[in-house]
Amino acid sequence: MRYLIVFAHPRGDSFSAALRHVVVDTLARAGHQIDLVDLNDSQFDPALSAAARGSYFDVGHNLAGVEEHVARLKRAEALVLVFPNWWFGFPAILKGWFDRVWLPGVAFEVKRFGLQAKLHNIVKFITITTYGSPWWQVRLVMRDPTRRIIKRVLAALCHPACRNVYLALHHMDRASDKRRRRFMDRVRRALGEV
């Protein structure tokens, strides 16, 4: 299977980077094709310029500057996102990737009564993330906005039978090495099951 792995963290020595290595190694050992996009390392520009916003709904012309990212997304059969939650949301560079790459004509079509999904090539959508806050604050107080966006919006633009897996380590700032290793093992097991 062709996996597109999108990594969003500016530091190569972060726990998110360690998780990226776990993902790549686990999937490669299982014989899958890997396409790794390191948004920070590739200096992806997350800002939606005035010109890009002006052509946003102009299918075809809206691809200017992101053609290769769109091609990689369209080639993928499975998508893995690896990122930390900051301020109960995506890092800016990953949010910008959605803004600039998940475009009309690529991820969806605008219809009279809503959106029609176009990413039917993606049959698996896996999220691997961390939160600095404890689970109860994320889930009960903030209602976990990142998880809701992924499950209710982004995954809904993929294949109708898309398998959606969301793995999160909460209270990351206080996680022991043992707890981090257990989470890495959980990620390995989950990737082997999907």
Query: What does the pLDDT look like over 14-49, one tens digit per residue?
Result: 999 999 999 999 999 999 999 999 999 999 999 999
Indicate the average pLDDT of the chain. Answer: 95
Q: For the chain, what percent of residues have pLDDT higher than 90?
A: 88
Model confidence over 138-175: pLDDT tens digits?
A: 787 788 999 999 999 999 999 999 999 999 999 998 99
| Tokens representing residue 57 in the block | 């709904």
When pLDDT is averaged across residues 62-80 and rounded to a whole number, the result is: 97
Domain that holds residue 106: 2-193
When pLDDT is averaged across residues 88-94 and rounded to a whole number, the result is: 96
When pLDDT is averaged across residues 101-119 and rounded to a whole number, the result is: 93
Residue 112 confidence (pLDDT): 84
Residue 131 confidence (pLDDT): 93
Q: How many residues belong to the chain?
A: 194
Q: How many domains in the chain?
A: 1
pLDDT band at 136 (very low <50, low <70, confident <90, very high): confident
Residue 81 near residue 6 (C-beta atoms within 8 A)? yes
Name 116's Cβ contacts closer than 8 Å, sequence gap at least 6: 108, 109, 110
Residue 140 confidence (pLDDT): 79
Residue 71 confidence (pLDDT): 98
Name 113's Cβ contacts closer than 8 Å, sequence gap at least 6: none
* pTM, two decimal places: 0.95
Residue 94 confidence (pLDDT): 98
CATH number at residue 51: 3.40.50.360
Angle in degrees, CA 39, 44, 47, rounded to 5: 125
| pLDDT > 80? residue 194 | no
Residue 193 confidence (pLDDT): 81
Distance CA(14)–CA(9), nearest Å, equals 8
When pLDDT is averaged across residues 89-95 and rounded to a whole number, the result is: 97
pLDDT band at 115 (very low <50, low <70, confident <90, very high): confident
